[in-house]
Structure 1
């Protein structure tokens, strides 16, 4: 709403921030954006392109002596910002030690407390990822039961991520699982696929055989590899 944008513009001006950020801030923070920004100036980090040092300067201008490096609001905002930056680089989660180390580098005095505060407020989520020991056999349901009986726990690494990326990855994993578990036989008789593979020959034939026997196939290669999916589609079209 125009009045929300105008109210945000006034807060930005009071903190010495560009008024051009008014619309992005109002969009990101929603209703009551001006009050939220005034109460927590580090919310400015929700806006793409804003750096931590800029948010610190904005907070000092608004809060004066109340703006401290150990402020919980600062620690939470920096935690979310670091996770956002990691996601932009292709990492939807960070190991907890790496995240706390990055917080310390950004001048957060108690990085562990900052992380715990972000988790407690629901601004980030924590996960445990079981580590595979070199040479150890793949875990089975029976083995998991044995671990519960003996009290032995598999080593894990603690990961921290943002909720929206976690939900997106979970949805993707569910979709891939359905593809992997789909029945290849539903997509045409095996004899037909084999004839198509034999006719294609070479790597294109190998791709056709792989697709005929698996619900999900990852195909990689350079420019020359582009012809192979075309042969696959032609074979699938011939099979109906």
Structure 2
């Protein structure tokens, strides 16, 4: 955890800005060593503390910065961008489409949402990705030359690095499982399927033929993987 000196420094800055000193420990954990100096230089970093909302960080910033504080401040735009991505992650979205993110920034009073996103990307606080879109009813994508590739429609996604890297790593692992199913023990699997019935047998057939299987259901469905095991 953070040193007592760091926590004390954070509490002093919080008190100057009219924020609860009880947030000192949380802020020190979220911002690390030097958290007091960081908060003084960029009060909107308070948004990195769980539970703090933009309007609270705005009040803290006004108290510390006075006349220098304003909605056009790049620091505010970046902090609110990161906060929105954090809130999306809590709701299960590791990335947001760029239009959805800029619309959310506008609702939070950021005058130039596009500039806020670009500033966040430039500072390395978020990453940008392009995800190719498949047109409904279109045939499976075939290898294309550079010109055709450039014409493919894409959606732009913005994500925090830790979530983006975690999701990419998970996706790579799942892809390896999906693309490398084992073909060994077919006779054994046939015996397993024959010994089961209903949903358990259906699950056994799926497991026998695929490297990765997703099994969902309520409490009653727990008996099916148990029977398979």
TM-score scaled to structure 2, two decimals?
0.95
1:223 Cα deviation from its structure 2 partner:
2.8
Moved more, 212-221 or 59-68: 212-221
**Map of 1:58 onto structure 2:** 60
Deviation per CA, 1:7-63, whole angstroms, max 9, x where unpaired? 111111000000011111112211211111000000000000001000000000000
**Map of 2:198 onto structure 1:** 202
* Residue 216 (str. 1) matches residue 216 (str. 2): no
Q: d(CA) in 1 for partners of 2:197 and 2:160?
A: 46
Q: Which protein shows a greater Rg?
A: 1
SS across alignment from 1:128:
strand
**Map of 1:137 onto structure 2:** 139
Aligned residues: 227
**Map of 1:30 onto structure 2:** 32
1:151 Cα deviation from its structure 2 partner:
6.5
Indicate how the Cα distance of structure 1 residues 158 and 150 shifts in structure 2: closer, same or farther if over 3 A, else same: closer
* Residue 19 (str. 1) matches residue 21 (str. 2): yes
Question: Any stretches of 5+ residues in structure 1 without a counterpart?
Answer: 234-240
Question: Any stretches of 5+ residues in structure 2 without a counterpart?
Answer: none
Spell out structure 1 runs of 4+ moving beyond 3 A.
149-152
Q: d(CA) in 1 for partners of 2:138 and 2:219?
A: 39
RMSD value over aligned CA atoms?
A: 1.3
Deviation per CA, 1:180-216, whole angstroms, max 9, x where unpaired? 1334224xx1011111101102221121111111110
TM-score scaled to structure 1, two decimals?
0.91
Q: Could you tell me which of 183, 187, 192 is aligned with 1:191? A: 187
1:149 Cα deviation from its structure 2 partner:
4.8
